[in-house]
Structure 1
Amino acid sequence: MLTGDDAGRLGLEDDAGDVVGGGVVQFPCQFQAFTPPYRLDRGPPAAVGEAEPQMAAGGLLGIAMTWWAAPIDAAIASRNGRPGPGVFVLPRLNPLIFDTRGIVPLGYAAFAFLLGVTIGIVIRRTLPAMAVLLAAFVLTQVTMSMAIRPHLMAPSRTATTINAGNLTFIGRGGDLEVAIDRPGAWVISQHTVKAGRSVSPPSWVMDCPAQSRRGTDACFGRLTSQGYRQQVSYHPADRFWAFQWREMAIYLMLAIALAGVSAWGCRRL
C-alpha cells in the first residue's frame, strides 16, 4: 500500500489526492498504476478490464440458470398457459423470469458496472452514489421489461373463442383472460372483441363458469354465437434467444456510451 511518505517521495500528493491518516485518498477519476517508473494514469475510475470478471460471472450465471431450469421451463410450456403452482406458470419469456436466463445477465453486469462508474464521477460520495445507482438500475430494468422489450419484435396475434377449457380469469368488471394453445408463449395483452371491435363482455358472462361446472356449456355457446372472441397479442416461445441477443446488444451499447461519458468526464476534471 502506498503511504503518505511514499506519496511525498514520489511527488504524487497533488495528482493522487489528499493524504489522510497515512494513506492516499484517491479521487474517482484516478486509479493506481504504480508500476515503474511509478506513473499515475488518469482515466475512468477503473480500467475497462476490471469489468470483464463481472461480465463473465453474469454470463455464466445466466447460462447456468438456463441449463438448470430447462426441465422446469419445458414443464411450464407444456401447460399451454394454464395455471400452475406458484411461479411455475410463468414461461421463460415472462418479464419475471427472462432476466435470469440466457446471456442478458452479461449485458446487465456491464451496464451496471459502467453506470456505477459514471454516477461515481458525478456524485463522488460512496453511499449517495450507491443509492442513485440502485434506483437508476431498477428503473432501467423495469422500463426495459415493461415498455421496451415487448416492442423489440412485432407481436403475433390470434383470436380465439371463449370457453370453459381456456378461460383462466374473470375480473369484477367482466374483463376476461384466456390461455392460448401456444406452449411457452409470452402473452403481452388481450381483450374481448366483437365484429373486429374491442368491446366489454356481456354482464352475464360471470355466470358461465358456474353453469359449466353444472355440466352445461350453453352460456359459453351463447357467447360464441353472439360473436364474442378474445384477441390475444403474444410472443411465441421460439423468440426467446432473439430477444436475448437484442436486449444484450442494447445494454452493451449503453455500457459503451457510459464508458465514453466517463472518460469525457474524467478529462474535464
Structure 2
Amino acid sequence: MPIYLPELSDDPVAPFPDPRTALRDPDGLLAMGGDLSPARLLTAYSSGIFPWYSEGQPLLWWSPDPRTVFRTNGVHLSRRFRRDLRRSDWTVTADTAFRQVIDNCAQTPRAGQPGTWITRAMCEAYDGLHELGYAHSIEVWDGVILVGGLYGVAIGRMFFGESMFSAAPGGSKIALAALAHHLDLRGWPLIDAQVENAHLMSLGAMSWPRDRFLDIAGALAGEAGEPGTWSERFGRLPASCLADEPVVTTGAAGPIGRGT
C-alpha cells in the first residue's frame, strides 16, 4: 500500500502538519519536502519535529512516539568512568569548533547504517543556524586534539540534540555530561535525544509519550531565549570536574539523537 505524506509548501514559515498525525510505520514520519532554511528548521524544532533523510532521498520530517529525553540533572556516568575521569586532563569548550564537530559526526561510522544522514546540505544548514546563535557544539579536547563532541539546536530553554561522536574512548560521554551540567546550571531542564536505543537508556535517558514531550518541550522552546555564542559563558571546563556530578549509576557511551 502506498504511503501518503503531506508535502510542505515553499513558504519556510508555514506551519507543519500536526505531529500527532505522523505515521506509526515508519514511526514518526510526518511530511516531506520544503527546505533546510533557518526559519523552517526553527519552526520544526519548536514544533517537536526534526529532519532526517539520506542522500538521494526527498527531505523527510519526523516526530516519533515515544520520544527520548534526558533531564539535565539525570545523565548517568558509571563509577569506573568517574574514577578514570578524576585523573583526566581533558577539557571541554562550547562553540569553538562547530564545523569540526559536525564533520566528525558525519564521518563517524554508525552500527547498522551504511552511510550518514548528515549530508553536505545538512552541514551547511546547521552552520547557518550556528551563525545565527541557535545551533551549538560542545567540544572535548586532549590538549589541542578534538577527541569528542556533540551539536544540537537551542530554542528558548530547550536543547534539541542532533548527534555526537568520539574520537577517543569516552569523548562523546564527556560531551553529553558537560552539556547537561551547563544547561542544568542555567535552569534548562531537558535535552531532546529523539530516538531510543540501549546506549541512551543506560546513560539515563527516559522514554516519554509524544504528547507529553510536545507539551513540555513546546512550552520550554516558547520561552524567551538569548541566541548567541556559548563560548565565553561556557569557558574551558576541566573534564575531571564532571566526575563529581551527583546523579550516578552504571552506564556506557552512547548517542544523542540518531548516532553515537
Q: TM > 0.5 between the two?
A: no
Larger % of helix: which?
A: 1
TM-score, with length taken from structure 1: 0.24
Give the TM-score taking structure 2 as reference length. Answer: 0.25
Larger % of strand: which? 2
Higher relative contact order structure (alpha carbons within 8 Å, sequence separation ≥ 6): 2
Structure possessing the higher radius of gyration over alpha carbons: 1
